[in-house]
Structure 1
Amino acid sequence: MVIINPTISTQPAALTRPAGPAPVLPADRVLNAVVLGERAQHLYELSSGSLRMMAESQTPLREGEQLQLRVLGKDAQQRPQLEILQRGTQDISPQLRNRLPEQLSLNQLSASLNQIRQGENPTLRQLIAPLLSSLPRRQQLSDSAGLQKALHNSGQSLEAKLASGEAPKGDIKAALLKLLATVQAQSPPPPKAGLARSYGPSNTPSPSVHAAGSAPADIATPGTASTAKSASAPQPQAASTAPAYQAPPKPLGLPGELQPQGRLPPSPPEIEGTLLSRLAHDVKGALARQDANQLLGLHSREHGGSYMIELPVRDRDGIDVWQFQFQPPRTERDHSHNERGSQHDTTQTGWTLSLSFDLPGLGAITARVTQQEKQLGIRFDAVQSDALELLRQHTPELHQRLAEKGIDVAGIDCRRRSAQALTESSYSLSALLRDQA
């Protein structure tokens, strides 16, 4: 057992420390190590050449991350203490490949939560109450301070909060993790046979693979299964007579892809055991979806691309999913010609925020706000004609309110576009995975 960054107050890891002598590491020695994985909370397995060691660290480490460590000495328990000198660029493709087959749209979880909330089982309603209380309400997003708080508690920065010692109060991802642990503790043990069929991906081909055109053939994306393996392997029969939960077809949309997510229709009534199994399945899928968005966000920040936050928002009659895509400032090169020949002028663009949602009665809407010097450009894209007319009707009021706040708006444009045209992605997910393969 070694201690990484001992200047940060460490807490006991959530797993009994492995027995045996600590590795002999002379002071001031510098070694390169690779994080093999997290074995428990704050407990990681490292590999440095032929040396394998367990490390306790309050600094979050990621699987596959390359570290350059320097030995500081030993603590009172004769455990080597190391500090991180340098952290290498992480290859996120292995984690993405692991999480993509498990990820589900947050709307699938929203449908399950709505069904339980509107049901007659007080035990299940009490079970999901902490998660529902952590979701922001639609009225909260109309206020700048409320919107900032909602994005902060979206789950995207849970690990960063824990690393800084901040209590994750109201964090959606923390609430999802707690709900999953509670549901798994209360659910009956699944049958040994047929487990993969009960909780595995649906065999229904996902239209998102063909519509997005961005998933490699060798990667199992949401809603797909490996047909080569399933064709040759015999399918075991469930040992229990209780109906096993089968995942419904996944909605369109891959992580990092800006696409309005509409509500799913309510499912038929189910027995309590099956509903608990479905809830656990949907929570796992939502957590995998958040992990994938976080991994893509890490990659985007390193390469100057956009990153996205998906936020479940409570309304009076249900839960909607709002997508926020942030594009950082970038420099664009303008190729123009004058009397002296070719000139290459550069233009610095500011932040671009894209907001995507699909509300009942309004349909899919995407709003894009672009900062150009000291002015804002706003564009609305709607699928339904009546929603487009409503946007155009309130455009003068929006322009006036922004002017009262001292915001200079260059123009507000409202357009009607098809649902497929609203789908946008700053980079191809499949290209990223192919490049890293």
Structure 2
Amino acid sequence: MIIQPTSLAALTWAGAAAGTTAQSWRIGTVLSARPLGVDPQGLLVMQVGAATVQADVPSGQLPPQFQVRVLSLGAQPQLEVLSSHPTADPAVQRALRERLPQQNGYAPLLATLGALAQRPVVRQLPPALRTALALLEQSVRTPADVTRGEGLREAISQSGLFFESRLAQPQGNHPALAQDDWKGALLRLAGLLDQRAAAPPAPNRSDTAPPLLQRGVQAQPRLPLPLLAGDNDVEPLINRLHGDVKAALARVEVAQLDAGALSAWMIEIPLEGKDGRDVLQVQLEFVNDAAEGSQGWTLGFALDLPALGPVQGELQLREPRLSVRLWAEHAETAQKLERQFTPLKQRLAACGVLLDQLSCQVGMPQPPGRHSALLLQATA
């Protein structure tokens, strides 16, 4: 929903969006809102905090009183309408407000790890730090891991999203969990880096991206290795690693906080690729369609491999029926995928799965963002 400021409150709205005249406009802040009426152009006039804005409501009606959460700032702030959304809890709001500006994708961290591996002087690092680096690299999955059902299940379980819940299990092997889990390995490395130097400052971003579940799956390209002068000077890379690890930890924790009580999870799995590392993004959602009397799972995924380019897919399983839709940015990649359709159909038929749809389109789909009750994109 695109929000335009009304003429009488434009300065107030612009100041609030910039964070100058209204200090309450921060990432994660919850503001009260209420509809005021409809203007001659048919736009809904709303009061959000101290600002009066216009909104073009695409569908449905807003309640007389509701709350919105600030997801991002900048030229086009994004607000999410909160009703019974689980993240309306004040403690969750505070945690999101702290971590959203700090988070970043895994690609920078994976590039820094690759650059460190090429420096012989890394062998001179303290043994505990070398061990922590090795454990983090050990947490990176291989393509063979995620192309097996059991391997993918294990990769999802150890992706960091379920770290604390696994630790809470009384029969769990806590030392092993802290080593084989992605978040556990990040926490171990972050603790050692904190001992070497003060924690790096949080990134100064004017526009902070909302949580992953709000955005939908997105293919993430591999980043080139950082170029730093001096093969014998590892400190610049260690400092860079410190910031990358903190940003990756914030990324995991934002995903954990945003999942809350929703029956949906966004999981990111680092993958060992050819001449580098990539990120597989997986979205799992349990769907209960009361209208049709059916329930099942929807699995979305996105991956950007150097040899194929961005690829995205969605699998809808309503046992025993399955629908598969794929998207590829490059036509050559779409053709390669379509050549695998016949053996895929044969394997599914052998498993007793009824295939309703199997298609591949050229071009990437627009993210649905269907986990927000209503997402407001504001223009100051």
TM-score by length of 1: 0.58
Give the fraction of aligned pairs with identical amino acids, expressed as a percent. Answer: 29
Equivalent position to 1:328, from 275, 281, 286: 286
Structure 2 distance, partners of 1:314, 1:429, is 36
Equivalent position to 2:194, from 184, 199, 202: 184
Q: 1:398 to 1:312 in 2, by over 3 A?
A: same
What is the aligned partner in structure 1 of residue 307 from structure 2? 361
Q: Name the amino acid aligned to 1:134.
A: S
Structure 2 distance, partners of 1:174, 1:430, is 34
Uncovered stretches (5+) of structure 1, i.e. residues with no partner:
1-87, 210-220, 223-252, 334-345
CA contact (8 A) 1:259 1:424 kept: no
What is the aligned partner in structure 2 of residue 104 from structure 1? 104
SS at match of 1:350: strand
1:423 aligns with 2:367: yes
> Residue 111 of structure 1: CA displacement?
1.0
Equivalent position to 2:163, from 158, 161, 164: 158
Once the two structures are superposed, what CA deviation does each residue of 1:203-261 show, in whole Å capped at 9, x if it has no partner? 5x5xxx5xxxxxxxxxxx15xxxxxxxxxxxxxxxxxxxxxxxxxxxxxx852231111
What is the aligned partner in structure 1 of residue 321 from structure 2? 375
What is the aligned partner in structure 1 of residue 203 from structure 2? 201
Of the two structures, which has the highest relative contact order with CA contacts closer than 8 Å and spacing of 6 or more?
Answer: 2
> Residue 373 of structure 1: CA displacement?
4.2
SS at match of 2:315: strand
Equivalent position to 1:396, from 339, 342, 353: 342
What is the aligned partner in structure 2 of residue 275 from structure 1? 237
Aligned ranges for residues 27-426 of structure 1 at < 5 Å? 90-91=89-90, 92-123=92-123, 126-127=130-131, 128-165=133-170, 166=172, 167=174, 168=177, 169-185=179-195, 187=196, 189=197, 199-202=201-204, 221=208, 254-256=211-213, 257=215, 258-270=217-229, 271-301=233-263, 306-331=264-289, 333=291, 346-418=292-364, 421-426=365-370
> Residue 202 of structure 1: CA displacement?
4.0
SS at match of 2:304: strand
CA contact (8 A) 1:155 1:290 kept: yes
CA contact (8 A) 1:309 1:325 kept: yes
> Residue 433 of structure 1: CA displacement?
12
Q: Name the amino acid aligned to 2:238.
A: L
Once the two structures are superposed, what CA deviation does each residue of 1:131-184 show, in whole Å capped at 9, x if it has no partner? 111222111111111111111111111111221232214111000111111222
> Residue 300 of structure 1: CA displacement?
2.0
Structure 1 distance, partners of 2:218, 2:148, is 24
Q: Name the amino acid aligned to 2:331.
A: S
Aligned-residue RMSD, C-alpha = 2.7
Q: 1:424 to 1:280 in 2, by over 3 A?
A: farther
SS at match of 2:180: coil
Structure 1 distance, partners of 2:336, 2:94, is 45
> Residue 401 of structure 1: CA displacement?
1.7
Once the two structures are superposed, what CA deviation does each residue of 1:22-66 show, in whole Å capped at 9, x if it has no partner? xxxxxxxxxxxxxxxxxxxxxxxxxxxxxxxxxxxxxxxxxxxxx
> Residue 93 of structure 1: CA displacement?
2.0
> Residue 277 of structure 1: CA displacement?
1.0
Q: 1:267 to 1:89 in 2, by over 3 A?
A: closer
TM-score by length of 2: 0.66
Once the two structures are superposed, what CA deviation does each residue of 1:242-288 show, in whole Å capped at 9, x if it has no partner? xxxxxxxxxxx852231111111221125422211110100000000
What is the aligned partner in structure 2 of residue 218 from structure 1? none
Q: 1:424 to 1:359 in 2, by over 3 A?
A: farther
CA contact (8 A) 2:319 2:353 kept: no
CA contact (8 A) 2:320 2:352 kept: no
Q: Name the amino acid aligned to 1:366.
A: Q
Which one has a bigger Cα radius of gyration?
1
